[in-house]
Amino acid sequence: MAYSGPFHYGDRVQLTDAKRRHYTIVLEEGGQFHSHKGIINHDDIEGMDEGSVIKSTMGSDFLLFRHLMVDHVLSMPRGAAVIYPKDSAQILVEGDIFMGARVLEAGAGSGALSMSLLRAVGPEGHVFSYEIREDHLVYAEDNVKEYFGKTPEWWSPRLGDLGDVTQEDLGGPVDRVILDMLEPWEHLETVRDLLIPGGVFMTYVATVPQLMKVMEGIRELKCFTEPKAWESLVREWKVEGLATRPEHRMNAHTAFLIWTRRLADGVTPPRPQRRARK
């Protein structure tokens, strides 16, 4: 699947009608898209540029663009809830996922974060994705393969418990660790043993009790910097002249993100100083 340029057979194309409803097709020679607004032949889309408009047999206009990763994530089959794009973006930037990085994630869920990590590290890096449930791992493997067109060579999806993983299993320490699991505080010592000094550790949790347990566990272990936690809220706006206003619905709380970095061996974190009360 190409990411830019004219459309070719095998590309995933998103058709948008006048009411901004989206329809996704994979271009096939001789294929057809059928809707209540008429038929569009796949062969007519072949060779067209992105951003073009095509008419159906009933005269309805459809805007043509490639299916983006965010479209794929929000529409793909899932066994577990996905990490939403707004949180994946925070993980990529705050976690400093760089090209060539060795990244460990657990659990893999439906593969949403896996795809973002794989694009960020590139073929020079490697992503290890652990999942304890086989049915979830199957979803992740299928979704990643569908998006990339094949299973990336720099990806190792594995069925297993993070608590059993050692550096030998990974061929050495990793640069980044991302956890999305029910009880991440149970695996903090494993993270310490797998992560290089200075490496970034991020956790994705949904509830306040989970947030508190992870933060307290990190502090008690005394091998990480003082952790920080936040959530991101996204609200779209409806902009139509004097009727401009916030949308009634928004992507509010999905999860908390927790961030910290591993200290060098034998180093005790400095005690945080609180500002004196007046």
For the annotated binding site, the residues are 110-113, 131, 136, 161, 180
d(CA 158, CA 105): 10
Amino acid at position 232, single letter: S
Question: In this structure, are residues 9 and 29 in contact, taking their beta carbons and an 8 Å threshold?
Answer: yes
Classify residue 38 as left (phi > 0), alpha (psi -120 to 50) or beta: left
Tokens of 182: 């029910």
Residues of the binding site for S-adenosyl-L-methionine: 110-113, 131, 136, 161, 180
